[in-house]
Structures are given as C-alpha cells and as structure tokens.
Amino acid sequence: MAKLRPSKKPWHKAFKSSHYQSIYARIAGMAEVYSDDYDTPWKDILEHAFPEFMAFYFPSAQTQIDWDKGYEFKNTELRQVVRDAELGKRYADALVQVTLSTGMESWIYIHIEIQGQKDPAFAQRMFTYNYRLFDRYARPIASLAVLADNDAHWKPDHYGFKVLGCSHQLNFPVAKLLEYESELEQLEKHPNPFAIITAAHLRTRQTKHDPESRYRAKQALVRLLYQQGWEKQRILDLFAVLDWMMRLPDWLEQQLWQDIQLIEGETQMPYVTSVERLATERGMQKGMKKGVQQGRQQECLALVTRQLRRKFGREPALDNALTQLSLYSLAELEELADALLDFNNIEDLEAWLTQ
C-alpha cells in the first residue's frame, strides 16, 4: 500500500479551538474564563462508553441493537466523507457499525453529531452526511444528533425538499441537553456516565458568570466520578469532558487540583493525578517560567504524544519515534499533529519523521 504524504497545511487553525485557547490562557497567567463550547473530549467518552451513550440519549434505538455482536467505530471513513463534503467547520461526530436485533438487516451504520452551538445549516449537514454515507456504503444510515447549544427554542430534527412530485426528507432523532434541566438533581445521582456529562453542561450554563459557584459544582461532579466504582479510563475520559466544559480562573483551578489530590487520597484512586497528567501540568509550569512559546511547545508535545499513543498503542517502534519528538520545534509538532490524522500505520509515522 502506498504511504500517505503528510499534509503541509498549517495547524494554526486547529490551535484556534477553545480548548487550546484555554490552555494558552493558563500558561500566560490569564484568569478570564472563555466562552463555553465543546469539542473532541466527547469523542473519547463516546467511544469508551457507546452503549451507555445510546441508552441515555436514544433509549429506543439502543433496544434495537444486538450488543452481543459488538460494534465498531469507523471514524476514519467518516472523516473522508466529511472532507469530501467541504461543509466548513466540523464538530464532534462519529460513525459506528452495529448489528440490529430485528433480523431485517445484519448491520447498519449510526452517524452521530454532537453540536455545540446553533447553526442554521445543521439540519442540511445531517441530510448531506446521511445520503453521502449511504451512497458510499449502500447500507442503512441512522443519523442521531445531540444538541449542546444554549438556545432552548432551536431543535432541528429534519431536512428535505419536494419538487415536481419528488420528495426527499430525512427525519432524525435529537437529544437536547437543555431539556434535562428540570432533572438536574436526578442526573447527578444517575449511574450512566452521560448523565454526569449532561449535568456538567447544565451546571456550566448556570454558572456562566459565577466562577466560585462553578468551582463548587465542578468539585462536586469530580467527587461523583470517584463514587461510581468506574474503571480508571472511564474516570479519565469523563474528567476530560468536565475539565473542558467547566473552565475556571487559574486560582480556582489550582484550588480544584488540591481538592482532587485529597479526593484521590481518600479513595486510593490516583487517576487524574497520574504520571501522564502530572507530566502535562509540569510542562505547562515550565512554559510559565520560560515563556509562552516554550509552554506551547511542551503542551503540543504532550497532545501529539497522547494522540499517537491512542492511535498506535504501546508498540516498541512508537517508543523509538517518540524519543525524537522532544527535539522538534513547535512548528514541526503542529505540522505532525495535522499529518497524523491521516496515518494508517506506524510506517506512515516513520516515513514522516525521516522525510
């Protein structure tokens, strides 16, 4: 198979996301809380707890899936469809292959979109993705949407057209997070991990201009993570979503970090304060001392390392490649972060490093 040529497109556009802006704000010592929006941490917990995602937001669809047959994420395929569609900004999304329990079709695809803001073109995008996926795979496509925006009156659930006696319409199920607001206290007691995510979204909205109240809400939700008996990876994935949603001024982040250390001491579960998390924090602290530029380089290195680990696991060849990355400049790491999205195997990474 021919090796992929790494993309030369600058990665500065990706670094304009709210997550990286938040990181850089902390490095520079800025205490202002940025606007509340959401992006890729959803993908980690979605992949880690997909059956629970379906059970919480789309229970009717969840009962029609044969979970004993397993499921498989097809996000590489989805990225190709999205790239071809040229529909502008991409949001958290996923494509999953599942087997139905009805016997009508042996398997289908589920396309999921998690939308963080009101977008007049959203329904049309769902329609476009649906027919493009069907055209490519000739399999039934179920399109599902989670709306995490702040407009209580915006809830698109269909798109189509009629012309000259021909009609074509997509109706898709929608989970609107704001509609759970009356159940907030019950959500915080619910065993499903997406109940905590929904509660975090609602608490973030409630505390938009009250950082101290947000700190208390975030502390309570973090404590809940350790009371559920979940495995380490689930706690880490959920904490990533909470941390991204519920941004705090730097002084309150430092206080929360002390709280987390106490919680983990009480529960004997040192998860968030693991070596990987500490390495990231130390990299950020080093950036504060030596300048914003070096801090950005350290954080970019940590992010690239995490993504490569997630993509290729613990292969010895990857360990050898990672030892080289500390010598790379920020610009080179940014370019690698862009290129790695298209890597199919470790050989593609090695080819990029030796070019």
User: 315 vs 298, 319, 352, CA distance in Å?
Assistant: 23, 7, 17
Q: d(Cα 40, Cα 46) in Å, to the nearest integer?
A: 10
Letter for the amino acid at 290?
K
**233 contacts: CB under 8 Å, gap ≥ 6:** 48
Residue 118 pLDDT: 86
**24/288 Cα distance (integer angstroms):** 10
* 115/41 Cα distance (integer angstroms): 13
- Provide DSSP, 219-271: HHHHHHHTTTT--HHHHHHHHHHHHHHS---HHHHHHHHHHHHHHHHHHT---
CA 214 to chain centre: 21
Give dist(CA 183, CA 52) in Å, integer.
Answer: 18
| Signed CA dihedral, 339, 345, 351, 353: sign only | positive
Low-confidence residues in the chain, pLDDT < 50: 1-39, 86-91, 275-276, 278-279, 287-288
The Cα–Cα gap between 124 and 122 comes to 5
pLDDT of residue 219: 93
Tokens representing residue 17 in the block: 């996301």
> What is the pLDDT at residue 81?
75
Q: Strand 174-176 to strand 108-115: parallel, antiparallel, or no bridges (unpaired)?
A: unpaired
pLDDT recorded at residue 146: 94
Task: Specify whether the CB–CB gap between 88 and 108 falls below 8 A.
Answer: no
Determine the longest span between alpha carbons in the chain, in angstroms.
69
Q: What is the pLDDT of residue 18?
A: 42
Residues 39, 58: contact at Cβ < 8 Å? no
What are 162-183's pLDDT values in tens digits? 999 999 999 999 999 999 999 9
* Bridge partners of residue 180, in order along the sequence: none
For residue 260, give both structure tokens.
Answer: 């987390």
d(CA 75, CA 114): 14
What does the angle CA 102 – CA 106 – CA 109 come to, to the nearest 5 degrees?
Answer: 100
Q: Token digits for 309?
A: 């680990």
